[in-house]
A = this chain, B = another copy of it.
């Protein structure tokens, strides 16, 4: 049906090798011949087949990208970053969503392997073994936005932990991450600086043993500020609207003495805003709200929401660079120099205020 290189060669009266040279750019072809070939190709609407080429060159020009949910603003930014970079590298992108389900992650990894992608960028969920299993294929893998839980070094990027521990963490898989710990810390410091002491945290669930990295960061930040961390100040939710809402409602009702809430994601943030409205809490007079992820609606809220911005787009871009870089096969050692940490930014808007007077009174 579609014209092949042979058709073009025949039409132009040359050998297929010559046609190949014209299209791949390699090798010398006289101007006259090139023109003849190009004309024939145009005539036949010929387009070199990527699958034929891939078979021979053993490179497909494709990158695999797996995120939990394209509909999530952060993921979407990350995807956009990857697409941007991939485009500039001349690669295309196979996208799939994991929904945070390890079984699906495994299927997707399998598919990427079969498709012989040149590299993979994954925003893993849970412990991420579907991906650590994938590295055996030899295809470059990069974690983006998050890396599998269960890493010994609690506070990534800080001085602690030798190179060895670092290499062990993430199984030697490079990662490009937001500096969540610093982001959470900045938000916590801000809230504490406003006088808040009873600060709720809306986090992600930890099905396995290790608690979420952000929750760790939250506890650590409060501890460092000398604020005691009560256990039932943190609520966990699965990454769905319903679950987030339930968690937020539970937390705010259980602890009516809360003066501030820090949401670890935009879903939790949404839930916090909604629940506060439902409970007739004025923001920020009665309750201060801060959130991780500076999504578009943060500015549209009333009051506009204070948020920790994570550079989703940059994360995707850099991760893609890494995934494609090692693609120059047989580069030998890929420096496992620890994760790339991109800075977060605390965007102060109107949703946080100094601790309400009467609450402080009631306490004395």
Contact = CB atoms under 8 A, between A and B. Distances in A.
Contact of A300 (B48, B71, B114, B274): B274
Nearest to A304: B277
A93 B94 contact: yes
A96 interface: yes
B55 A51 contact: yes
A76 B273 CA distance: 23
A263 to B, nearest CB: 13
A136 B79 CA distance: 30
Nearest to A83: B97
A314 to B, nearest CB: 14
Interface in A117-146: 136-138
A87 B105 CA distance: 13
A1 B77 CA distance: 35
A302 B304 CA distance: 10
Contact of A296 (B77, B92, B114, B297): B297
A113 B96 CA distance: 21
A345 interface: no
A110 B70 contact: no
A337 interface: no
A299 interface: yes
A52 interface: yes
A87 B96 contact: yes
A216 interface: no
Interface string A286-323: 00000000011101111000000000000000000000
A110 B297 contact: no
Given A47-B110, A87-B96, A300-B301, 17 more contacts: A48-B114, A50-B114, A51-B54, A51-B60, A52-B55, A69-B80, A70-B76, A76-B76, A83-B96, A83-B97, A92-B96, A94-B94, A270-B296, A274-B300, A296-B297, A297-B297, A297-B301
Interface of A: 1-2, 45, 47-52, 54-55, 60, 62, 69-71, 73, 76-77, 79-80, 83, 87, 92-97, 110-111, 113-116, 136-138, 270, 273-274, 295-297, 299-302
